[in-house]
Amino acid sequence: MLLANRAHTVGNRKKYVIDYSQWLNEGVTVSAAVVTSDSTTATVDGVTPLADRIEFFLNGGVLNENVTLSVRMTNTKTEIKNDTINVFVVAP
């Protein structure tokens, strides 16, 4: 599912948060998350699964680059949710 289209400034490091509280059933929490970038210049790090959300950082990018972030979240019932974020790299 496409979660968002976002602008990201060249050279910046920005924290993203994805809230899964509306998707998770009562008593179920996020247990793991993987976020990957299809770019070699816009990289992802610091992926952190929390109880009802995940957090990660997007770094860098080249001006006018379109980047697709693929997000794979697994919950404590071993259910998997795949999402996408489209990012366009802009000038400062």
What CATH number should be reported for the domain holding residue 58?
2.60.40.10
Residue 37 contacts by C-beta under 8 Å, 6 or more apart in sequence? 43, 44, 58, 67, 68, 69, 70
pLDDT digits (tens, 9 = 90+) for 5-59: 999 999 999 999 999 999 999 999 999 999 999 999 999 999 999 999 999 999 9
pLDDT digits (tens, 9 = 90+) for 49-86: 999 999 999 999 999 999 999 999 999 999 999 999 99
In the structure encoding, which two tokens stand for residue 59, read together?
A: 């770094």
Total count of domains within the chain: 1
Residue 6 belongs to domain spanning: 2-90
